[in-house]
């Protein structure tokens, strides 16, 4: 893009990420002049890419000759979840960015667990709870516990 890019507070910068090739597979804006950030940063996965992206991959989604401002929903170093909820990235920009100070880069992908994984975790928690309760009942009331009225508590 030739010139300056100014994102107002009501702006939404929406990017699609469907692979590792800039422009062809993920959206990228190259500004020849200054870029002023504002509004919200959003990204969505396409082409099922959330299933193959790795934490080590980075995505330069905006470059400029100078960068100022900030996104309302994503400070530098914050984690931003995809609008489709399929994962999140660390957002990097500005003077304390781990990347170029005049660039916006998404890094450190974190997948969202599949629903089946969450169901297995919840099921495991229920089994542990039931087993714990069953063991306490088998020991009888007060067995295995020290209470203020038990002989073990009196010294």
142 assigned to some structural domain: no
153 assigned to some structural domain: no
125 assigned to some structural domain: no
- What mean pLDDT do residues 103-110 have? 97
pLDDT tens, 7-60? 999 999 999 999 999 999 999 999 999 999 999 999 999 999 999 999 999 999
116 assigned to some structural domain: no
29 assigned to some structural domain: yes
**What sign does the CA torsion over 106, 33, 16, 51 have?**
negative
84 assigned to some structural domain: yes
Is the pLDDT reported for residue 120 higher than 50? yes
53 assigned to some structural domain: yes
Q: Which domain holds residue 65?
A: 5-111
Q: How confident is the model at residue 118 (pLDDT cuts 50, 70, 90)?
A: very low
124 assigned to some structural domain: no
Task: Give phi and psi for 33, each to the nearest 5.
Answer: -110, -150
Strands in 29-30's sheet, in edge-to-edge order, are 29-30, 59-63, 103-111, 87-92, 79-81
Tell which residue, 72, 89, 1, has the closest CA to residue 37: 72
Cβ-contact 53, 17 below 8 angstroms: yes
Q: How many domains does the chain have?
A: 1
pTM higher than 0.75, yes or no?
no
Cβ-contact 138, 130 below 8 angstroms: no
Is the pLDDT reported for residue 103 higher than 90? yes
Q: CA 42 to CA 37: how far, in whole Å?
A: 13
**Which H helix or E strand runs over 111?**
strand 103-111
Tally of CA atoms within 13 A in the half-sphere of 10 that contains its CB: 0
3-class DSSP assignment, residue 143:
coil
């Amino acid at each position: 893009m030739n010139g300056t890019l100014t994102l107002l507070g009501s702006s939404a910068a929406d990017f699609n990420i469907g692979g590792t090739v800039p422009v062809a597979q993920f959206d990228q804006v190259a500004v020849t002049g200054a870029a002023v950030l504002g509004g919200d940063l959003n990204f969505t996965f396409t082409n099922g890419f959330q299933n193959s992206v790795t934490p080590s991959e980075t995505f330069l989604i905006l470059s400029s000759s100078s960068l100022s401002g900030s996104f309302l929903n994503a400070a530098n170093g914050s984690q931003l979840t995809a609008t489709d909820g399929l994962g999140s990235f660390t957002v990097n920009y500005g003077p304390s960015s781990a990347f170029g100070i005049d660039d916006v880069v998404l890094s450190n992908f974190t997948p969202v667990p599949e629903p089946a994984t969450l169901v297995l975790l919840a099921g495991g928690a229920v089994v542990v709870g039931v087993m714990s309760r069953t063991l306490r009942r088998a020991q009888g009331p007060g067995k295995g516990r020290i209470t203020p009225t038990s002989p073990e508590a009196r010294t």
